[in-house]
Structure 1
């Protein structure tokens, strides 16, 4: 018998390891292991945990249709999970484990240790690269190294890319083994959960969203993706994050809907966003330090963060006194998702207006995001903090007032998430403290002055860079 170990690849369609495991002769059993202690250390958001839980129920039904039972187990951490797997294989005469790799440091160690432990017990581990369209290490510069700047990476990626093929799995040979005594999904899933029911989890509904976006909305993506008050993004990131949808499916659908014509401008921009995702996945493959809370640039070690704890608390609560920042944080806190343009605005504000370590913001995001993906989240935070690979120049500091005026001109998004500002005129919506009637509004004054903080930030960054 063979065992398919699921992690962040919760789908049957276009699942490389699963398809490799099914040969039509040898029965296959699937497994997912809940690791609450490990998840807590990785700041897994309760809303994403709930999405995983609900998706596992759907996956169980899809696997059953392929004659594959899904076993769910629970151990504290990855070490315990590996031990459980080897013991399960011995008890149920499993000779091969199939899995898809993740590229974060702990996850890579998990597979390496599983391979060694399994080999001692006569079990073969077959690990596949499934998370990216082009596997890490395959897109290199002329010197044979990895790209440190996105644009040349994108060009090289597109030069190598030929076609995205999506494969559906065949049915497996029936599995007749007795797995009595094992616990149910509900019993094993002890990690805290927060309602994620606003996100559909069936494959049909996920694919319907992909098709609708690719066939209709993507045409205007380049014009609408930065406007948080409208539904201009794909909303597919939660499914990519847990692997309920693959990047190959997204790209294949784009080209299918193009019907042989060049991609529209909107489709090209969305493809570029998917390539950004690949860029950050490749980066954590080459730079394990990124998984260890370290900055990419060496001079980052000398950067001081004198921001106050109370400022961080007010940023988390969406009570900074800057409407676009606070509305974005309310969206995150209430829905588990934040518009991408707003992620950049609030990250810049935390690091460069409040002078608070980007790592604190990175962890807070992971603890809240339904689409939390370590590589993309780390890459985004270090980009905004100017400490990352191809990050923005340190002297580029978003002004939260002008950013609001540019991307939420009429204050529609702000009023949606900050109803206390509903009566503030458009003229003052991005700086309500200037409104003559502000004293009667239940909204805080700005906790810092942007202009003053900008000068402090420039001095702090110059000081850090001058040390190296």
Structure 2
């Protein structure tokens, strides 16, 4: 008997651990619900709901393969070893199969499970699945993890030219087992069920994920380079939630991109090349998680930035979280996040830079807020993005490059279509005023819309001064030497 432990790999096609288990013998599947752990990780209620709905869709597929799906609860991950050992002993399991996960807590959990099972003679197998390359296999000449994305990307492309990772077919149906599947809970305590409007934006299941991928590859991938930065256009693939939950694999995405581009990587369609580059950014941040575990511990990647004099400004933080900063592009983006569980990638950068540079509020506040609301919340990508925007991270923007929300707004939402969709109170403004209602003058500005909470040029100077006065990396090394 084999056991597949499902986590962020909620699919039956191209699932490395599932295929490996099914090849070896009769297979059972288990999914562990860990409410306290998920709360500690700031997982969003809409994300937990999305996992459960995808688990339901996967369960239908597994039933066709005669693989029973059992549901177990381990409130925190330190209880997972005992729960899995009990299950293995109950059903005479000889080997557990699972796909690798990469945060520090995930790694420790898996090591503990492996030790517990192996001590009882049960084999533990883990597989590369949610990435194209094993962390530790793409290194600099000195043998360390890359810190600069462009260098990392070059090595990845060289490897992909030498051989593409293949897509695994779904396993064959097995002979029925005399074990009943458990019902999948409709909700988990501590996580509110999102409203129907949000759920309708994110239908569950592999068919939906593959349909999105196909539609994107057919209709949008070639214009991706030009349209991905325009939040009012459907220029992105909308696949991030499905990738984060493992409803689709990066291999499936890579193959679709290459097929749409006649098998080419760097040549051919600039849109396809740009999209594959985004898949590699996802890869890069997961490798960073493994190579530099401190980023899993809420630590800045660049140690000197731990001395940043972040401001304690609860009222400004609340205005940012509630979308009432008085800067329409920021407020519209926050409303999109709160209502849909997703935010356009260009706006994630603009919103993050406004919080960390213009308000000089600690990036960890923003990172946590995003995780609590994102349906595609992923530690590596979210942490990587926040540290990039706040100039504390790997390959991050130089501290003096500070996005101006007004010019970003005018450049990427020139007609104000995105702003007017999310801020209907500004619908009557012309396309110049809609980016900066405060410039309309008048005693009260625009009815129903707040005045800007910060002066952009003064706050920019404040951020530049704070960064300039940080201790240098060399000084830190001397003091710790």
Q: TM-score of the superposition, structure 2-length normalised?
A: 0.94
Deviation, structure 1 residue 175 = 4.2
Q: Pairwise mapping of residues 211-250 of structure 1 onto structure 2 (< 5 A)? A: 211-250=214-253
| Distance in 1, Cα, partners of 2:363 & 2:90 | 47
Deviation, structure 1 residue 307 = 4.2
Q: Pairwise mapping of residues 126-205 of structure 1 onto structure 2 (< 5 A)? A: 126-161=125-160, 162-179=163-180, 184-186=183-185, 189-192=188-191, 193-195=193-195, 196-205=199-208
Mapped contact 1:255–1:263 kept (Cα < 8 A): no
Of residues 425, 434, 437 in structure 2, which corresponds to 1:432?
A: 437
| Distance in 1, Cα, partners of 2:263 & 2:374 | 36
Q: Pairwise mapping of residues 275-354 of structure 1 onto structure 2 (< 5 A)? A: 275-354=280-359
How big is each residue's C-alpha offset from its partner over 1:139-165, in whole Å with a ceiling of 9 and x where there is no partner? 111222111100011011101112132
Query: Are 1:416 and 2:431 an aligned pair?
Result: no
**Counterpart residue number, 1:7:** 7
Report the CA distance shift for 1:263/1:71 in structure 2 as closer, same or farther (over 3 A). Answer: farther
Mapped contact 2:3–2:27 kept (Cα < 8 A): yes
| Distance in 1, Cα, partners of 2:32 & 2:76 | 9
**Helix, strand or coil: the match of 1:151?**
helix
**Counterpart residue number, 2:32:** 33
Deviation, structure 1 residue 345 = 0.2
Report the CA distance shift for 1:427/1:256 in structure 2 as closer, same or farther (over 3 A). Answer: closer
Deviation, structure 1 residue 188 = 7.6
Structure 2 residue runs without a partner (length 5+): 477-481
Mapped contact 1:9–1:15 kept (Cα < 8 A): yes
**Helix, strand or coil: the match of 1:30?**
strand
Mapped contact 1:115–1:125 kept (Cα < 8 A): yes
Aligned length: 465
**Helix, strand or coil: the match of 1:71?**
strand
Deviation, structure 1 residue 187 = 7.0
Deviation, structure 1 residue 216 = 2.0
Tell me which moved more, 164-173 or 153-162: 164-173
Cα-Cα RMSD? 1.5
**Helix, strand or coil: the match of 1:133?**
coil
How big is each residue's C-alpha offset from its partner over 1:287-339, in whole Å with a ceiling of 9 and x where there is no partner? 11111000000101211111411110110000000110000000001110000
**Counterpart residue number, 1:355:** 360
Deviation, structure 1 residue 67 = 1.5
Mapped contact 2:68–2:179 kept (Cα < 8 A): no
Q: Pairwise mapping of residues 59-98 of structure 1 onto structure 2 (< 5 A)? A: 59-98=58-97
**Counterpart residue number, 1:103:** 102
| Distance in 2, Cα, partners of 1:255 & 1:170 | 25
How big is each residue's C-alpha offset from its partner over 1:260-308, in whole Å with a ceiling of 9 and x where there is no partner? 4544110000000110000001010111111100000010121111141
Of residues 256, 259, 265 in structure 1, which corresponds to 2:270?
A: 265
| Distance in 2, Cα, partners of 1:260 & 1:421 | 46
Deviation, structure 1 residue 191 = 4.5
| Distance in 2, Cα, partners of 1:220 & 1:130 | 29
**Counterpart residue number, 2:43:** 44
Deviation, structure 1 residue 255 = 1.4
**Counterpart residue number, 1:125:** 124
Deviation, structure 1 residue 440 = 4.7
**Helix, strand or coil: the match of 1:393?**
coil
Q: Pairwise mapping of residues 435-454 of structure 1 onto structure 2 (< 5 A)? A: 435-436=440-441, 439-454=445-460
| Distance in 1, Cα, partners of 2:130 & 2:464 | 38
Mapped contact 1:45–1:368 kept (Cα < 8 A): yes
Report the CA distance shift for 1:27/1:175 in structure 2 as closer, same or farther (over 3 A). Answer: farther
Mapped contact 1:34–1:188 kept (Cα < 8 A): no
How big is each residue's C-alpha offset from its partner over 1:148-199, in whole Å with a ceiling of 9 and x where there is no partner? 10001101110111213211122243242435xx853217843513242321
Mapped contact 2:323–2:334 kept (Cα < 8 A): yes
Report the CA distance shift for 1:29/1:367 in structure 2 as closer, same or farther (over 3 A). Answer: same
Of residues 376, 379, 383 in structure 2, which corresponds to 1:374?
A: 379
Mapped contact 1:73–1:183 kept (Cα < 8 A): no
Report the CA distance shift for 1:107/1:263 in structure 2 as closer, same or farther (over 3 A). Answer: farther
Report the CA distance shift for 1:178/1:64 in structure 2 as closer, same or farther (over 3 A). Answer: closer
Deviation, structure 1 residue 465 = 3.4
How big is each residue's C-alpha offset from its partner over 1:380-429, in whole Å with a ceiling of 9 and x where there is no partner? 00000000010100111111111111111111111100111111222211
Mapped contact 2:52–2:186 kept (Cα < 8 A): no
Structure 1 residue runs without a partner (length 5+): none
Mapped contact 1:27–1:172 kept (Cα < 8 A): no
**Counterpart residue number, 2:56:** 57
| Distance in 2, Cα, partners of 1:338 & 1:239 | 15
